[in-house]
Amino acid sequence: MATPRGASASKNHQAPFHETDRSRSEDWTVNGDHPIDSIDERAIRAFRADRIRQELRRRDHEAVLVVDPVNLRYATGSRNMQVWTMHNVVRYALAFAHGPTVLFDLATGRHLSAGLETVSDVRASIPFDYMLVAGNAEAMAGRWAAQIHETLREHGCSADTLAADRADTLMIGSLEKLGLRVADGKSILEHARAIKSAEEIKAFRMSLATCEQAVRSLYEFAVPGVKESEAFGHLVGQSLARGGEYPETRLLTAGPRTNPWFQETSDRVLRAGELLSFDTDLIGPMGFYNDISRSWVIGGRRPAPAQDTLLDVSREQIAHNIDLLRPGVSFMEYASKAYRLPDACLPNRYADLVHGCGLGVEYPFVLYPEDAADGMYDGHFEANMVVCVESYVGELHGPDGVKLEQPVLITDRGPEVLCELPLDAVDF
C-alpha cells in the first residue's frame, strides 16, 4: 500500500512473533457473503459451556448464578440490550455443573434466545430493580429468590451455597432468607473465559480485522481541523458498519490531552504536528473485545525529536514484554522481567502490563511491580490465552503521551501477535 498522505518512513520495532495461516478479506461486508458465516458459533458455545462446567466441578459447586451481561453472553450465547442490562438486572441464568443452563429473560425478549442449544429453556425473569418496581422492590426480590431456589431444587441441587458472579444487597438478603448463602462466583467465569478454543481464536481474528479496518479509516479521516469527538465518532461508526456493537470507553485524545492518559474525548480540534493517541476498546462482531492502541502524528508529519523518543520507548516496551510471554511463566516472574520505563515516565505508567482479552478485559491482569500493594496476584500464563500487552509512555507533566497496545495469542511455540495493523501508522 502506498504511504498515506505523503508520510515518510520511520522506525517500526515489532516484537518477534510467529506467522500464522490467516487470510482476511480486505474489508468486512455486511451484505452478501459475510466472514462470520464461516465461524462455527455452535462449537464456540459448546466449548464455553463446558469450560464453565469444568470450573464448577473443580470448585465443588453445583451451579453458578450468572448476572453480568458479558458473562451471560459467554454462558449462553445470547444477548439482549447488552449495555442497558449492565445497570438494570433483568436477565440472569443458572449454569449447572451437570446439565444445561436455564436462562431468565424479560418476557418481551424471550424469543431472542429461542432455539439456543446452550439453554434448556428460557423463562420469564422477575424484575426487582427499584427503577422498575419502586416500593415493591423487596417483595419482588423475594419472588425472584423463590424462583432461583425452586429452579435449583428442580435440577437436583441440594447445597446451601450458591455461587454468583454479581449480586446486590436485595439479591443476597432474599436468598439468605431462603437458607442460601451467596459465594463469589466471578472467579468461575473469569477462569473459564481465560482459555480459548481454536474456533474462538478464529472468530477473534475476524472480529479484530474489522477494528483494524476502522483504524485505517480513522488515519485518513483524522486530519487537522477535525474534532476529537468527530474522530472518535468516525472510529466507532466504522466499527458498527462492520458488525461491531459498542465502545467501552472514550479514549481518543490529541496534543496536550494525551498526557496524562485516561482523559476522555472532547471537542478540541486536531492540529498538525500533534500526537493523536487512542485505545479502541470496541466490542466488535460476535461480542469480541477489539482492544488496539495506536499513536501517530497528525497531518502525516514526521515526529518531533521528543515525540520520536516516546514512540521508540513505547515500541521497545511492547516488543520486550511480548517476547516474555510463554506458557508456564508466572505473573510475578513476568512483572519482574518486564521492560523498565524511564524514571521520568514511570509515575505516568499504565494501569497494567498485560491483561486477558476475550469478550472484554479478562483474567489475568498483571500489574507493574510498583503497584503490588494494589492487589497484585500470582498465577501462570497458559497456552491458548489471548492477552493484550499495554504501553503508555509520557513524562510526568510532559506535553505528550504515546499509547500502544497489541493483542497476543500465547502458544506452545511462543507469542503470536494477532493484530496485523503495524505499530507505525506510515506502514498501514
Q: Among residues 193, 219, 245, which one ends one of the domains? A: 193
SS3 per residue for 227-286: EHHHHHHHHHHHHHHCCCCEECCCEEEEHHHHCCCCCCCCCCECCCCCEEEEECCEECHH
Cα dihedral across residues 103, 106, 110, 112: positive or negative: negative
Select the more confidently predicted residue: 380 or 19.
Answer: 380
For residues 383 and 249, membership in a common domain is answered with yes
Amino acid identity, position 90:
V
- Over residues 123-128, the mean pLDDT reads 96
**What total number of domains does the chain contain?**
2
Q: Are 39 and 203 in contact (CB under 8 A)?
A: yes
Q: Which of 130, 163, 193 is the last residue of a domain?
A: 193
**Could you tell me how far CA 24 lies from the centroid of its own chain?**
21
Q: Is the domain of 329 the same as that of 393?
A: yes
User: Both 22 and 51 in a single domain?
Assistant: no
Q: Are residues 384 and 346 in the same domain?
A: yes
Domain that includes residue 109, residue range: 41-193
pTM: 0.91
Are 28 and 58 members of one domain? no
Task: Judge whether 330 and 378 are in contact, CB under 8 Å.
Answer: yes
Tell me: do 411 and 277 sit in the same domain.
Answer: yes
Q: What CATH number did the domain enclosing 161 receive?
A: 3.40.350.10
Same domain, residue pair 236 and 359 = yes
From 202, 192, 388, select the one nearest 282 (Cα to Cα). 388
Residue 283 CA to residue 281 CA, distance in Å, equals 7
Is residue 228 located within the same domain as residue 373?
yes
| pLDDT at 14 exceeding the cut of 60 | no
Q: What angle do CA 337, 339, 345 make, to 5 degrees?
A: 135
Q: What is the pLDDT of residues 320-351, one digit of tens each?
A: 999 999 999 999 999 999 999 999 999 999 99
Q: Are residues 181 and 310 in the same domain?
A: no
Alpha-carbon gap, residue 210 to 15, rounded angstroms: 22
Among the three residues 193, 208, 240, which one is the final residue of a domain in this structure? 193
Q: Does the pLDDT at position 29 exceed 60?
A: no
Q: Are residues 232 and 340 in the same domain?
A: yes
Is the predicted pLDDT of residue 23 greater than 70, yes or no?
A: no
**What distance lies between CA 240 and its chain's CA centroid?**
16
The pLDDT confidence band at residue 247, using thresholds 50, 70 and 90, is: very high
* CATH assignment at residue 330: 3.90.230.10
Residues 326, 227 share a domain: yes
Same domain, 147 and 288: no
**CB-based contact 267:227 (threshold 8 Å):** yes
* Per-residue pLDDT, 27: 58
